[in-house]
């Protein structure tokens, strides 16, 4: 594992904050009702993005987290998705926004979308900080995307490799681990 100094910075903290503010403005513009938007952060990777995003939003909101396991050891995909921690409250009839760190194959989001849609929210949208369109194996709608990136393994701003680097304020590329199978 390379030390932090050898990372290549892809997006600086300032660039990320500018995109986060733009996404927050777009969500505010789309969500014009008094009903609080129920924001669902997908742990662990989205915790930094979700924290910054909700503080940049003006719309009334409530917050919950869900824990999903889709990768083993941070890099190799098991192909299986497991719900490790469910929502604390029901979402039937409520507007819901899923906040994800990165959409890679799309399997995690596809699974989560299906699970939450089945509970009858009044609307279900998704905000992802990063997307790797060239890796997509499952077609999944993403309403708000921070940055579209090439097929490179990134860390920082909540994203990890083997649980490291989540604390970095920027997003960096590290030497890619073996690409997970689609």
- Of the candidates 122, 125, 169, 130, the one whose C-alpha atom is nearest the C-alpha of residue 153 is 130
Considering 28, 30, 86, 104, which one is annotated as catalytic?
A: 104
- At its nearest, how many Å lie between ligand IMP and the CB of residue 122? 25
Residue 49 engages ligand IMP in binding (rule: CB under 6 A): no
User: 99 forms bridges with which residues in the sheet?
Assistant: 41, 127
52 included as an active-site residue: no
Residue 171 engages ligand IMP in binding (rule: CB under 6 A): no
Tokens of 15: 């660039």
Considering only residues 11, 71, 144, 157, which one is a binding residue for ligand IMP as defined by CB under 6 A? Answer: 71
- At its nearest, how many Å lie between ligand IMP and the CB of residue 52? 17
Considering only residues 7, 19, 38, 45, which one is a binding residue for ligand IMP as defined by CB under 6 A? Answer: 45
Report how far apart, in Å, the C-alpha atoms of 179 and of each of 18, 42, 75 are: 30, 22, 8
| Cβ closest to ligand IMP, residue 92 vs residue 163 | 163
Considering only residues 66, 102, 112, 124, which one is a binding residue for ligand IMP as defined by CB under 6 A? Answer: 102
Residues whose CB is less than 8 angstroms from the CB of residue 36 and which lie 6 or more positions away in sequence, other chains included: 59, 60, 61, 62, 94
Residue ranges of alpha helices (H) inside the chain are 13-30, 47-56, 107-117
Which residues contribute to the site for ligand IMP (CB under 6 A)?
45, 70-71, 100-109, 153-155, 159
């Amino acid at each position: 594992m390379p030390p932090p100094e050898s990372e290549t910075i892809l997006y600086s903290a300032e660039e990320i904050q500018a995109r986060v503010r733009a996404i927050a403005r777009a969500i505010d513009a789309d969500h014009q009702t008094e009903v609080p938007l129920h924001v669902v952060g997908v742990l662990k990777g989205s915790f930094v993005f979700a924290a910054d995003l909700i503080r940049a939003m003006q719309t009334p909101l409530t917050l919950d987290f869900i824990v999903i396991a889709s990768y083993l050891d941070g890099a190799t995909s098991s192909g299986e998705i497991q719900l490790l921690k469910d929502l604390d409250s029901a979402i039937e009839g409520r507007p819901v926004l899923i906040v994800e760190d990165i959409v890679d194959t799309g399997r995690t989001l596809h699974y989560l979308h299906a699970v939450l849609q089945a509970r009858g929210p009044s609307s279900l949208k998704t905000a992802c900080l990063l997307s790797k369109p060239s890796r997509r194996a499952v077609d999944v709608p993403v309403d708000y995307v921070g940055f579209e990136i090439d097929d490179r393994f990134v860390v920082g701003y909540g994203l990890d490799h083997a649980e490291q680097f989540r604390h970095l304020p920027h997003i960096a590329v590290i030497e890619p681990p073996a690409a997970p199978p689609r």
